[in-house]
Amino acid sequence: MARISSRNIWIDTFYSLQKEHLEERHRKRWVLQFNYRLVDKLTDDQKMKGWKISQTARHASFTCLKCSNFWNSSRVTLIFHYCLGKTKTGTVLLRPFSQMCRQCNNDCFINPTFKVENVTAILENLILKIRKNCYREEIDRDIQDVKHRIYIRTKPHERHLCEACMDGVCNKDNDVF
Ligand SMILES: [Zn+2]
Ligand SMILES: [Zn+2]
Res 1: pLDDT = 39
The pairing of strands 29-34 and 89-96 is parallel
Q: Which residues surround ligand 1, an ion (CB under 5 A)?
A: 64, 66-67, 69, 101, 103-104
> What residues have CB less than 8 Å from 142, skipping those under 6 apart?
none
Res 35: pLDDT = 96
How far away, in angstroms, is 89 Cα from ligand 1 center?
39
Those residues of the chain that have pLDDT short of 50 are 1-4, 145-146
User: How many folded domains does the chain comprise?
Assistant: 1
CA–CA distance, 129 with 95 (Å, rounded to integer): 17
Res 145: pLDDT = 46
**Which ligand places an atom closest to the C-alpha of 106?**
1
Res 81: pLDDT = 98
Res 151: pLDDT = 55
CA–CA distance, 145 with 11 (Å, rounded to integer): 23
**Which ligand places an atom closest to the C-alpha of 162?**
2
Res 149: pLDDT = 54
Structural domain boundaries, residue 130: 2-176
